[in-house]
């Protein structure tokens, strides 16, 4: 069976940003898992990854607020917590969907570590948004009082940023590949994986960071030889000149065109940029196809009716 690695955004698990809740996460997952169930019915084997920006931010805030009563937890441990909690919900909701469809497959979550370079300059330049969105006044107060670094995130408000080093290796890749060969649905590399470094005699140690989910997903897809990298996001199609009168939605890009648009600044680093870079790296490593679309559009995108495909440089001219 063909193997697809599907990335689910952490923000897409929040139904109501003003009042986030576990019930809201379950409702969002029920929608997404309905579309994933349709993929499974079509004969795909799946590896699922997910973001954790809002969730790890909430856990970080809880840890800091409770510091007087309980020991604070580092970001790598908080990332592991979100892998477990979100993985649990995904296992449960997707398992229910499979039973309704009569699909006899098992679902498992693999707590996943991702190796990064301890000398990565990202440790000195935090860029990864985590936690909720804030109004400017509140963001300035948090920056003063808690010494958080705050940035405006895609025009939706202000968020805290933490280091986001480049993923180099998925530690549990062979375990994940073995499970996929048994047709087990695997949830892995949640939140980009738990950031770890190699030291001494190749020992692993956690570090304070959050890895970009899309770049880690691409690395995982390359590591297991997946056929398709599917990144679900907030827009049905990728666009150049986004938000401008000359905006143009794209149904297809070659790798060369994707690189060109990326270098021209069409895909900002805080939003679409990592997704495009993830697709480029997957394709350059020998991937068959990368696809970007919304969760609800997955079925139509697989049928070629929507979404943005990134193909090899031998593909035809750019379509819109």
Backbone torsions φ then ψ of 205, nearest 5 degrees: -145, 140
Q: Which of 57, 213, 287, 307 is catalytic?
A: 213
Distance, CA of 11 to CA of 268 (rounded, Å) = 17
Cβ burial, residue 102 (10 Å; 0-12/13-18/19+): exposed
Contact 308, 245 (CB under 8 A): no
Q: Which of 51, 79, 87, 128 is catalytic?
A: 128
C-alpha triplet 251, 253, 254: angle, nearest 5°: 155
Active site residue 244: no
Active site residue 11: yes
Active site residue 311: no
Q: Which of 10, 79, 87, 287 is catalytic?
A: 10
Active site residue 319: no
Active site residue 52: no
User: Roughly what angle, to the nearest 10 degrees, separates helices 75-101 and 22-41?
Assistant: 50
Q: Which of 11, 59, 191, 307 is catalytic?
A: 11
Alpha helices in 102-184 (DSSP H): 136-146, 173-181
Say if strands 169-170 and 113-115 run parallel, antiparallel, or are unpaired.
antiparallel
Q: Which of 131, 177, 193, 275 is catalytic?
A: 275
Residues involved in catalysis: 10-11, 128, 213, 275
């Amino acid at each position: 069976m063909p193997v697809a690695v599907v990335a689910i955004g952490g923000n897409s698990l929040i139904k109501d940003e003003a009042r986030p809740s576990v019930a809201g996460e379950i409702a969002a997952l029920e929608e997404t898992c309905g579309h994933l169930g349709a993929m499974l019915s079509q004969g795909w084997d799946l590896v699922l990854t997910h973001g954790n920006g809002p969730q790890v931010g909430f856990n970080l805030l809880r840890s800091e607020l409770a510091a007087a009563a309980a020991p604070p937890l580092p970001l790598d441990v908080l990332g592991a917590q979100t892998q477990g909690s979100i993985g649990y919900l995904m296992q449960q909701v997707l398992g229910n969907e499979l039973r309704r469809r009569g699909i006899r497959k098992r679902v498992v979550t693999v707590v996943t570590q991702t190796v990064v370079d301890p000398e990565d300059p990202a440790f000195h330049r935090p860029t990864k948004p985590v936690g909720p969105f804030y109004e400017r006044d509140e963001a300035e107060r948090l920056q003063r009082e808690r010494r958080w670094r705050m940035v405006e995130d895609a025009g939706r408000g202000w968020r805290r940023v933490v280091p986001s080093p480049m993923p180099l290796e998925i530690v549990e890749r062979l375990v994940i590949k073995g499970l996929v060969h048994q047709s087990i649905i695997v949830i892995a590399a949640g939140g980009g994986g738990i950031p770890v470094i190699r030291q001494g005699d190749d020992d692993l140690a956690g570090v304070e960071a959050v890895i970009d989910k899309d770049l880690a997903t691409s690395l995982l897809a390359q590591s297991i030889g997946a056929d398709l990298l599917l990144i679900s996001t907030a827009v049905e199609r990728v666009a150049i000149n986004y938000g401008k009168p000359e905006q143009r939605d794209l149904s297809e890009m070659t790798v060369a065109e994707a690189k060109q648009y990326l270098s021209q600044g069409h895909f900002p680093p805080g939003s679409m940029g990592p997704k495009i870079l993830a697709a480029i790296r997957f394709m350059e490593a020998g991937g068959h196809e990368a696809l970007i679309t919304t969760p609800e559009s997955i079925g139509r995108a697989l049928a070629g009716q929507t979404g943005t495909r990134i193909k090899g440089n031998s593909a035809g001219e750019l379509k819109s």
